Structure 1
Amino acid sequence: MRLNNTYYKMRTQIITMKTLLSLLSTLVVLNLSAQEAGVIKLTQNKLHARVREWPYPVGGTIVSSNAPALMWPATNGKEMVLPMESGSEVPQDPGIADIQYKVILARDSKFTKNVIASDPQAWAVYPLHQALATGRWYWQYAYRKKGNDNWTWSPVYDFVIDAKTQGQQVSPPVREVLARNEAAHPRLWGMHARGQAFYENNLNNPEAHSFIAYAKKLMLEPLPEEKPMRIIDSTGKTALEKKKIIEAMYHGFGDAVGTPISNLCIAYRLTKDERFLRDAKRRALNIAQMDPNGLATGDDFTSGAVLEALGWFYDAGYHILTAEEKTLFQQIIRLRAKRVYDHLPNRFELHVSDNHIWQITMRNLTIATVAVMGDVPEAKEWLSYLYEIWSARFPVLGTTDGGWHEGNGYFKVNYKSIIYLSQLFADLSGVDYYQLPWMKNLPFYLLYTHPPASATTAYGDMWENTPFMTRQQGLFADAFAYRAENPYLNWYVATIKKDNPEYFTRPSDDYLFYRLLNYNPTRKLPQQSPRHLPKLRNFADVGVAAIHSNLADTKKDLSSYLMSNPFGSSGHGSASQNAITVNFKGKTIFGGSGYYGNFSDQHNLLYYRTSRAYSTILVDSLSQKIGEEGYGWIPRTLSGERIQYALGDASNAYGPIESSFWLNRFDQLGIDPNNTGVYGDVNVTKYRRHMIQLEDEIIVLYDELEAKQPIKWTTQFHAPYYEMRTIPSTDNKVQNFEVLTEVGHAMASVFAAVPIGMKIHNKFSEPAVNWANVKDVNGNIKEFKDQWHCGVTSIAVKKMRYLTVIQIKEGKPQLITGTKSNDGQTVLRIGSWQIIAQLDGSKNARLQIRDSSSVFDYGSDKAIDFAGKKYIRKQRGSTLLIDGFKGKTRQYEAVDVLPDVVKYDTVK
C-alpha cells in the first residue's frame, strides 16, 4: 500500500528558530530514575541526530578537547532545516546553498574579553585551530542570506575547557594549510619536498621492485572502453530494481580505469622513468574524454574514482603537459569536482554520516583539489571546506573509543580513506592524526572485534562477508601498523601474516603506496601478545562490549559480544540493540542472519535490518525501530579473571519508525511499514539485558522486560551457519535447544516464570533473493541459503524476565534443570557454578552467580558472604563482582555510566 506521500508531508521537518530555542531551554541532558539506585534512564528521543538539530557545545559542558569544533543546525535563512544526504530521492531545500555563517567566541558573555571571530563562511561548523585557556567560554553564531548585510544571531552558549586538556595537539588554521599547498608540482603526498627521499628510500625495497615489474606489464594493457563490468539480467524487475542493477553492472568501473593511472604515477616516482608517466597520460586523456553523464562514470563512486585518477596524473605529469592539455584536465577536474562540492556546504557537515562521501568521495575530491590548487580558482574554497570538515568531524562514526558504529562489514569500506586522508591531511597540516584518541584505541577495536583467524561481530550491513579473517582486514591492519606504534597491533598483523601469507603476496593493493611512503628498512615492530589484556573491553561510544576467554589463541577462544548502540540503526547499522553474537574457535555460533542484497530492498527493510534478524527481543513479534531514534547503550561492564559482565539498555529502541529517511525508503517500495507486521508500538518501557561470560565456556543472559500493557515477549537466537535442533522439555517454563558444529556442541536453556513456547525453523520471514548478483569477498556470486532460527515466546505479560544459559563444549554439555528456592527464585547448577535468578516480573530483579572462588551479584544491597568474609557495596544499586584468583580476592563494582555523546553533545 502506498504511503500517500506521508513522507513528503513530513520530510522537511522544519523547525523555527523560536521553537528550537524553546527546546534548548527546556530539555535536559539526561533524566535519572529516582526509582532504582545506580540506574540512569535516558529519555531523549535520539542521542545522535541524523542531521544536527542542536548546537554544540552548550550548557556549560566540560568538553574533552582544548580546541573543540563549534557546530550548529542548518538554516535556509528563515528556519532550521534537516537536509538529506547525497543521493537521496528527496529534493534538497534550495535555500541552504545561499547561506553564510559567522561565529564569535570570548571569555565573557558580552564578548569583550579574548575575542575570537570568524570570517563569513558557507558551512555550519567552526573548528577552533587554537588551544583555549582553561575555564568557561561563551559563543554564538549568526547567519544571513548571501548579499544581505543583516545577520541573525543565535542565543549565547557556553562551555568549559578542562585543565586536563591542556597540552593536546591542535591543528593549524586554514590559512596555514593553504600556504603549505602553494608548492610547485608535484605537491600530492608532499612529493615536491619528499620525492627524492622517496625514490632513494625505495631503491632497495623488494616490494618496490615487484611493483615496478607489475607496472611494466600494466603498460601493455589496452585502453578501457565505456562498457559494463558485468551483465545482469533485469527482466521482470521493478523500476527501482532496474536502477540498482544498472549501478551494479557498472560498479567498480571507475576504479578499474582509474587505478592503473595512479599505479603508473607511483611507478614513475619509484624509477624516474617517464615511460610510466607517458602511459599514464595516455590513459588519463582517455578517461578525460568519457561522458561525465554516462552510465560508466556518472555516479558518485565511478565519477569520484575518475576524478582522483585525473588528480594523480595532473600533479605527477604536470611537466609533460601542453598548455592545451593542462586546460583540458583543469576543465574536466573542475566539472567533476564541482558536482561533488556544490552539494556539500551547509549539508554534508551536518550529517551523522553521509556514507558515500566519507567512504570514498571525500578522498577523491581532496586528492583532485590538492592537485589543481592555484590552477582552478574554486579549489581554494574546496580545500578549506574539506580540511575544516576533517578537523571537526573525523572520525565521523566513532568518537574516542576506537570503534565504528556500523559494524565491521561496512567499516572496511572506509579503510582506504582513513589511511590516505590521514596521510594527506597530515602532509598539509603537520598534525599527526595517529595521535587522536580514536586512532590510539583503534588497534584494540580491531583486536577485540575481529581477532586473527576468526569471524567478527555479525552486526551491521555486510556482516556476512566476514565469517573469517579477510585480506582487506589484514592489509589495512598492516598499513595502520606503520604509524600506530602499538605492539598489540604489531602482534595482530604478524599473526594474520602467519595464518594467511597469501593476503600479502600480490604486487599491488590499495595500501601499497602508503607502505612505500612510510617504508623504513630498519624499522622495528615490537610485538606484545594480548594474553594479559583484560578479557573484556567496552567500546561504549559505538555500543559494543567484547568478551574473550582467550584473546591470544582463537582456537581456544569463546567470544561473546553485546551490541547496544547510541547511534541507533542509522546508515549501515541495524535495529539490533541488546543483540548478542557468540563465536567459538573463530566460528559464529549465534549472531545475525539474512543477506545484504541492497541497502533497502524488501528483504533488507523487512528482515535483514530489523530485530527479526538478530539475537535480541521481539515484542508481539515487532522489531525495534530503524533510525537514530531506536538507540541503545551499554551502562555497565565488569571484567574479572573468571567472570566477565556487560549490561545493555534498549529501553528506547522500540516503537514506530520516525526517521523520514527510512520512511522515504519504504515509500519508494510502495510499502507502509505500519501494515507489515514488522514495525509498530506496544509501549515498551524497559529492556535491560545482562550478559555474563563464565569460565568453562558458559554464557548467561538475564533480561528485564517491561511494557505498559501485556505483550508477548520473544527472545531470539540465530545460527547463520549451522542447524538448530529442539531438545524436548517437560516443563512449560523451560525450553532447550542445541546447535551442532564442527568446532563444538552448543546448548541453550531458556527459563521463565510464565509459560513459554519455542519454534525452530529455517525460513526467513521475508525471502532473501540475490536479484542484483551480489558477490562475496572472493568475487563469487553469493548463494542466499536458508538459515536456522529459534524463537522462545512468552504468554502476554506486562513484566517479563528471561534467564538463558548457553554452554559450548567440545563434548556434550549437561542438560540444566531448575529448582525454586523458598522466596520464588530459580536456582540452577552447572558444573561448579550456582545461578540464582528472580524470574517473577512482579518482584525486584536479582541475579547471583557463584562458585568457590568468585561471586557475581546484581539486584541486592545486602552484604555478600564469601570465603568467610562479608563484602559490602561501596555504591548503592551497583553490580558487584568478587573475584578470587591466585590467592587474591578483588572487589569490583559498576553503576550506570553515560556514553560520551550524552556527556558532551545532547540537547541541554
Structure 2
Amino acid sequence: MTSTNSPVQRFIRRTFGTALIIGTALTAGAAAPPVNEAPAQANEWGFRPTDGQRSEVNPPAFSWRPQGKDVSYILEVATAPDFSSSHYRVEDLRYNVHCPPQGFPTGTWHWRFAYRTNDGQQSPWSSTRSFSVDADSATQPLPTRAELVSRVPTAHPRIFIRPEQLADLRQRAQTDLKPIFDNLCKQCDAMLAKPPPTAEPPKYPEGMVRNSDEWREIWWGNRVYTMKALDGAATLAFTRLIGGKDEYGQLAKRILMDCAQWDPKGATGYRYNDEAGMPYNSRFARTYSYVYDLLSEDERAQCRDLMRSRGEEMYRHLFPRHLWSPYASHSNRAWHFLGEVGLVFLGEIPEAEEWLWFAMNVYACVYPVWSDADGGWHEGVSYWRSYLDRFTWWADIMKSAMGVNAFAKPYFASVGYYPMYLQPPGTKDGGFGDLVENQTPDKNATLVSIFATQAQNPYWQWYVDAVGGAKPQNNYVGFVRGAMPAVTAKPPFDLPSSRCFRGTGQAMLNSNLFGGQDNVQVVFKSSPFGTQSHGYESNNAFTFNAYGERLLIRTGRRDSYGTDHHKNWMWETKSVNAIAVNGQGQTKHSANGQGEITDFACTPLFDYVAGEAAKAYDGRLNSFKRRILFCKPDAVVIFDTLDAVEPATFDFFLHTIKPMDIRSQQDIRVQNNGAACQVAMLWPTDLAITQSDKFDPPPRPRIKVVEYHLTAQTSQPQRQTEFVTVIRPYRADNDLPGNATLEKTPNGFALSIPVKAATDHGNTAPNTLKVTFNPATDNVQALLLDNTERLIGSFTSENK
C-alpha cells in the first residue's frame, strides 16, 4: 500500500486539505455515459494543459471538452499515471475549466476528468494527460470562490476603489493628484451646465438593412449616446465621492435613475446591440456603486431588478460557450464587463456571485485568447490596443477588490514587445489586422506606459518616451491610477532588431528599432489562428516599409464590418501581397485557414523567416513555403515554392499606394514620398504582369481611397512552381547600384545582388550579396562580400 505520509502527500494535505487526498481512483457508476474526447476544432480552446506540455504557469489552468448540459465535473491530478498515489481532487465543478488555488511541486504530473449526470451516474474517466511544472513556471493560482468573495468590500464603493481608500484619495485630490481632480471637476461642472440627454435611444426601424450606413449610424450612435450619459454619470458620482460638489452626486443619481427606465431588451439590450449594451451595463454598475449612499432602498431595488435582467442576459450568452469556444471577438470584453456587474451587485442580486465567479474563471483559464507567450496579438494593433485597454480596467478592479494580480500572466511579461517591434518610432503602418492602415505608434503610448509600469520594463518605457509619451488620463480611471511608480527608460541597444511572435504567426523584421525614418521593415504573417475574426489577412503575406513610408501594403478600407468590400476584397487573398492558385485565394475569415511560421532567425546582418500556408488553400495545395531573407537594410529576398494537387496557374500579388513604374519584370519601381524600392521578379521569367487601381468590389462611395494592385501570373498550368523575388529599398533622391542577377543551378538558384551595406570599417562602397537556395533541402545560404571580395558576414538557414 502506498505511504500516506510522503512529501507530496504532506504538501497536498497542507495545501488543499485532507478531503482532497485520495489513495485510489473511484469506480464509475453503473450504466455510465461515455466521455466525449473529440479533438478540439480550430475555433475551440482545447484540452489544456496539452499532454506532455511544460506549463508556463503553476498551477496550470485545466480545460476539457464540455460533456453536455446539467452535468458536474470531477478533476484529479496525480504524480503517478495510474492515480494510485496521492493527488489533487475536486468535485462538483460546474465549469469545464478549473484553476487550482495553489501551485504544485515541480515535476511531472498527470490529470484526468470525469462527469456526473443529475441522476448521480458517473462517467468513465477520461484519458490521462501529463504536464510538468518547473521553477520558471509563473505562479498564478486562482483563489477559491469563497476566498474571492470574502475579499470584496461589503460596503460601497467597491469598483476601482474601496471604502477604506476614500480618506487617502480625498487628501491626494488636494495634493499630488490635484491636477487630475481639478480636470474632473471641470468636466462635472460642464455637465451641470449642460446635462447629457437621457431619453431612451431608438431601435432600428423595421426593414433597415443590417450593416448599411443608416444602420451603422444607429448601431454606433447608440453606443456613443449611452457612454455620454452613463460614463458621464460615473464621472460625476466618482468626483463627488473624492470631495467634489454634492450637486455632482445628485445629477449622477438622476441620470442613473433615468437610464434605469430604458428597456433592458430594447435599443441598449446586450443581445440587441452589444456595442451599446456592454457600456450600459458596466457604467451603470460603476455609477450605482459610487452613488449607493444617495439612493433610497426603493431606488436600489429598481436598479437591482434592472441589472438582474441585463446581467443574466450577458451571462446566458457567454456561459458555457465562451469557456470552450472563446474566439468570438466581442465576447472577449463582454466577460469582464459582466464581472463588473457581478462585483457591484454581489450580495444584492442572487446571481451576481455566479457572474463574478464565471468572470474570474474566464480570466484564469481562458484569457487572453488572441495572444501567445511571446506577446503577439492575432487581431492586429488596433484591436490589441482597444481590447487590452479595456482589460486593464478589469485588472485594476481585480487588484483593488480581490487582490488578484492580472499582470502575473506570462503574456503580460512580453506584451509591450508587440507594438515596439511592429511600430518603431516614426512608423506609419500598422501591419496586419482590421483597421490598422495608417496607424501610428504614438497611439500606443498610454497603454504601453501602463504595461511598462506594471512590468517595470525599461525598454517599454523607452518606447513610450520615444513615441511622444503617454497622455494624461484625465478621467476617474486615471485618477485611481494616480502617480504610477516611475520606470527608468533604457534604449534597446542590446535587444535584437527583429522579433517573431510564433504563436500568433507574425514576424517583424527591422533594420533598427530607433526610428522609422531610418528603418527598413518587413512584416510577415503565417498564423495558426488562421484568417478568423479581425486578423483576416491571408497567410504567407507580407508588408514592406522603408524610411518612414509604406511601400508594399495590405489594401482596402473597412467601410463597415461585413460589407461587400470588407468581405469580398479585404478578406480575400487578392488584397494582400500573397499568392492565389487558379485565381482562388485562401479560405477566408476562418479558423481553418491556417499558416505556420516554421523558421525564424535574427542576426546583426541577416534576418530570416519561413512560413507554410498550404492548409489555408482548402486542399488545392500540398505545400506553399515562403522564405524571406533580409540583408539589413539593403535587400529582401523572397523564395516561394508551391506544390499544387493538380496543374494550376499562380497569381503573385503586390499592392502599393502610388502607381508602380513597371519598366520590366525585373525592374518594378515603387515610390511613396521620399522612399522607394525596386522589385525584381527574377523567376519565373515569363510572368504576365498587369496593374489596376480598381477594387473588386469597391468600398462605399463615402470611402475615398485609391490603391494600386499588381498581378504577376504564370503562363502555363503546372503542379509545381517557384518564385524568386528581390526587393531593394532606397531613398527616392538616390539610386541603386546595378541590378540583381539570377542563375538557375542544378540544385536551385544562385543570386548576386549589389548592395550598399556599411561595414565596421566604414566602407560604404558597393558590396555584393550572394545567395543560394536549394528547394530540395530547404536550404538558404547568404554571403555578404565587400568590394574586394572580403567576407563581411554569412548566414545559413540550417545553422541559425
Q: TM-score, normalised by structure 1?
A: 0.77
Shift of 1:762: 0.8
Tell whether 2:631 aligns with 1:714.
no
2:478 to 511, 515, 525: 515
Task: Report what 1:651 is aligned to.
Answer: 614
Task: Report what 2:226 is aligned to.
Answer: 254
Can you give the 5+ residue segments of structure 2 that lack an aligned partner in the other structure? 1-31, 756-766
Task: Report what 1:879 is aligned to.
Answer: 797
Tell whether 2:549 aligns with 1:587.
yes
Within 1, Cα distance between the matches of 2:77 and 2:257? 49
Task: Report what 1:329 is aligned to.
Answer: 303
Q: Could you report, residue by residue, the CA deviation over 1:654-676 in whole angstroms, capped at 9, with x for unpaired residues?
A: 11xxxxxxxxxxxxxxxxxxxxx
Letter in 1 for 2:724: L
Task: Report what 1:484 is aligned to.
Answer: 455
Within 2, Cα distance between the matches of 1:126 and 1:211? 41
SS in 2 for 1:315: helix
Task: Report what 1:36 is aligned to.
Answer: none
Note the 1:454-465 alignment, pairs <5 A: 454-464=427-437
Letter in 2 for 1:553: G
Q: Could you report, residue by residue, the CA deviation over 1:801-820 in whole angstroms, capped at 9, with x for unpaired residues?
A: 11111122112335625253
8 A contact 1:574–1:611 mirrored in 2: no
Tell whether 2:57 aligns with 1:65.
yes
Task: Report what 1:537 is aligned to.
Answer: 499
8 A contact 2:35–2:124 mirrored in 1: no
Q: 1:350 to 1:240 in 2, by over 3 A?
A: farther
Task: Report what 1:164 is aligned to.
Answer: 135
Shift of 1:121: 3.5
Shift of 1:517: 2.0
Note the 1:34-183 alignment, pairs <5 A: 49-52=42-45, 54-76=46-68, 96=69, 98-145=70-117, 147-165=118-136, 168-183=139-154
Task: Report what 1:553 is aligned to.
Answer: 515
Task: Report what 1:264 is aligned to.
Answer: 236
Tell whether 2:768 aligns with 1:833.
yes
Letter in 2 for 1:685: N
8 A contact 2:342–2:355 mirrored in 1: yes
1:725 to 657, 661, 667: 661
Task: Report what 2:727 is aligned to.
Answer: 806
Q: 1:838 to 1:139 in 2, by over 3 A?
A: closer
Q: Could you report, residue by residue, the CA deviation over 1:82-105 in whole angstroms, capped at 9, with x for unpaired residues?
A: xxxxxxxxxxxxxx4x44333233
Q: Could you report, residue by residue, the CA deviation over 1:725-753 in whole angstroms, capped at 9, with x for unpaired residues?
A: 2113xxxxx44322121121221111114
Tell whether 2:631 aligns with 1:694.
yes
Q: Could you report, residue by residue, the CA deviation over 1:325-348 in whole angstroms, capped at 9, with x for unpaired residues?
A: 110111111111111012222211
1:300 to 274, 277, 285: 274
Letter in 1 for 2:291: G
Shift of 1:238: 7.2
Q: 1:826 to 1:261 in 2, by over 3 A?
A: same
Within 1, Cα distance between the matches of 2:241 and 2:453? 20
Within 1, Cα distance between the matches of 2:354 and 2:206? 42
Q: Could you report, residue by residue, the CA deviation over 1:453-501 in whole angstroms, capped at 9, with x for unpaired residues?
A: 323443122122x443354x33322333332311122122222336xxx
Within 1, Cα distance between the matches of 2:525 and 2:574? 15
Query: More relative contact order in 1 or in 2 (CA 8 Å, sep 6+)?
Result: 1
Q: TM-score, normalised by structure 2?
A: 0.87
Within 2, Cα distance between the matches of 1:235 and 1:724? 45
Q: 1:113 to 1:791 in 2, by over 3 A?
A: same
Shift of 1:67: 0.6
Q: Could you report, residue by residue, the CA deviation over 1:617-646 in whole angstroms, capped at 9, with x for unpaired residues?
A: 111111111311111121221212121111
| Aligned residues between the structures | 748
Tell whether 2:316 aligns with 1:342.
yes
8 A contact 1:226–1:296 mirrored in 2: no
Within 1, Cα distance between the matches of 2:34 and 2:536? 34
Within 1, Cα distance between the matches of 2:345 and 2:772? 67
8 A contact 1:280–1:313 mirrored in 2: yes
Shift of 1:286: 1.0
Shift of 1:822: 6.1
Letter in 1 for 2:337: N
Within 2, Cα distance between the matches of 1:207 and 1:379? 33
8 A contact 1:703–1:802 mirrored in 2: yes
Shift of 1:836: 3.7
8 A contact 2:783–2:791 mirrored in 1: no
Task: Report what 1:442 is aligned to.
Answer: 415
Q: 1:819 to 1:400 in 2, by over 3 A?
A: closer
8 A contact 2:372–2:501 mirrored in 1: no
Q: 1:127 to 1:456 in 2, by over 3 A?
A: farther
Shift of 1:350: 1.1
Within 1, Cα distance between the matches of 2:691 and 2:770? 26
Can you give the 5+ residue segments of structure 1 that lack an aligned partner in the other structure? 1-15, 25-45, 77-95, 656-680, 729-733, 771-781, 855-864, 881-892, 895-908
Note the 1:308-457 alignment, pairs <5 A: 308-359=282-333, 361-457=334-430
Within 2, Cα distance between the matches of 1:289 and 1:851? 72
Letter in 1 for 2:768: W
1:196 to 164, 167, 174: 167
8 A contact 1:461–1:574 mirrored in 2: yes
Tell whether 2:669 aligns with 1:738.
yes
Runs of 4+ in 1 over 6 A off after TM superposition: 16-19, 231-236, 238-242
SS in 2 for 1:446: helix
8 A contact 1:595–1:784 mirrored in 2: no
Task: Report what 2:641 is aligned to.
Answer: 704
Tell whether 2:723 aligns with 1:756.
no
SS in 1 for 2:616: coil
Q: Could you report, residue by residue, the CA deviation over 1:345-393 in whole angstroms, capped at 9, with x for unpaired residues?
A: 221111242211213x223222221111111111111111111111112
Letter in 2 for 1:808: P
Identity of counterpart residues, as a percentage? 19
Task: Report what 1:852 is aligned to.
Answer: 785
Within 2, Cα distance between the matches of 1:247 and 1:529? 44
Within 1, Cα distance between the matches of 2:268 and 2:494? 52
Q: 1:235 to 1:288 in 2, by over 3 A?
A: closer
8 A contact 1:56–1:70 mirrored in 2: yes
Within 2, Cα distance between the matches of 1:514 and 1:172? 26
Shift of 1:179: 0.8
Within 1, Cα distance between the matches of 2:574 and 2:467? 34
Within 2, Cα distance between the matches of 1:538 and 1:161? 25
Tell whether 2:253 aligns with 1:281.
yes
CA RMSD of aligned residues (A): 3.1
Letter in 2 for 1:57: P
SS in 1 for 2:696: coil
SS in 2 for 1:699: strand
Shift of 1:853: 6.8
Letter in 2 for 1:455: K
Within 2, Cα distance between the matches of 1:270 and 1:497? 31
8 A contact 1:744–1:809 mirrored in 2: yes
Note the 1:893-908 alignment, pairs <5 A: 893-894=799-800
